[in-house]
Amino acid sequence: MKNRRCPRCHAYFAAPARFCSRDGTPLVEVDLPEPPAAPEQGSSPADVPAPSLTGQVLDQRYRVVKRLGEGGMSYVYLAEEVEGGRSVAVKILTPRLSRDPGSTERLKREASIAMRLQHPNVCPILRVGQTADGLLYLVMPYLAGEPLSELEARSGPLPVGTGIPLLIQVCSGLQHAHELQIVHRDLKPENVMLVPEPGAPGGHRAVVMDFGLAKERRAGAELVKLTATGIVLGTPEFMSPEQIRGKPLDGRSDIYALGVLAFEMFTGQLPFPGKTAQEAMLARLKSEPLRLRQVRPDLPAKLEAVIARTLQPHPEDRYASMNELAAALQSVGTTGMFSRLFGR
């Protein structure tokens, strides 16, 4: 399984952590073995890992093949359908959170929201179920590819001709979600999967993953209660100023996060420097972001202007929609994708 380690103090962290909370050092991915089948003596309930599900059959429908990784709230397994043999990904809520009514309600809400999403640039939820041990799980299509974060780590800053087509595809998927009144809230490179696909621009289809923090814009008081369970809703380095302040969100918050993602994609660093994720988050409330060409002078001035607008502190000063942002990105490049993706 994949986990993350601080190369300075050697502490381990689960994804989506990107910086060490002790010293602010960027984390590196490492391989760890499967968790034990049972907790060790003396472990407290909060420390108990999920037992390995490899080899089990869930709901008489999904045979678990192997563990793929984990996040702050869940473990992810590769499985296959008993009938038909189609590969799927199974996301299982951790034991600690499976015992929490608020967390289980969040997972069920995630499923009900994501089941409404039907778009080639969005990963849908196929089914929600429960293991024999009472752990809740979600079933999603298995996408054979790699997260954008891994491409960035391997290749460094992306060329404009590679990055813009990927960003436009992400815009397309998020526009679909926003039209359903759904805001992602946790957009970041780890949540964009690149699936090899012949004929796609650059040879990859970008798919927005993990609507686990998605929130309907017309949310009621019950969702406010869920937010107070102690779970951090969002990744600090990519949060919009209004999300940091706990203000109401709409699609323009995702536009801000996509601007941060784009800045990192083209430069290899965040637009708000800081020794820790917390410092970078606070800088968003107090200072101006770096300009794109301060870091990479070779990039087009028009691209710098597009990203600068996405990073405006006030939502009304950003692009009004993902469609509008995609059109602006299209004007920078010559991919010809905008009309095909948005039917214009």
Q: Provide the sign of the torsion angle of the four alpha carbons 153, 159, 165, 168, taken in this order.
A: positive
Spacing of C-alpha 337 from chain mean position:
23
Whole-angstrom CA distances from 80 to 9, 88, 110, 243, 251 are: 39, 6, 22, 37, 35
Q: Provide the sign of the torsion angle of the four alpha carbons 143, 148, 150, 151, taken in this order.
A: positive
Give the C-alpha separation, 5 to 17, whole Å.
10
Name every residue whose Cβ is closer than 8 Å to that of residue 253 and which is 6 or more positions away in sequence: 183, 185, 240, 242, 243, 315
Cα within 13 Å of Cα(249), Cβ side: 29
Give the C-alpha separation, 112 to 180, whole Å.
12
Catalytic residues: 186
The pair of structure tokens assigned to 98 is 């499976």
Spacing of C-alpha 28 from chain mean position:
18
Token look-up 């299982």 returns 92
The pair of structure tokens assigned to 201 is 């621009």
Give the C-alpha separation, 116 to 187, whole Å.
19
Q: What 3-state class would DSSP assign to 59?
A: coil
The pair of structure tokens assigned to 302 is 């028009």
Could you please report the per-residue DSSP string of 170-219? Answer: HHHHHHHHHHTTEE-S---GGGEEEEE-TTSGGGEEEEE--GGG-EETT-
Q: Which of 272, 265, 311 is nearest to 290 (CA)?
A: 272
Q: Please, are residues 231 and 103 in contact by the beta-carbon 8 Å criterion?
A: yes
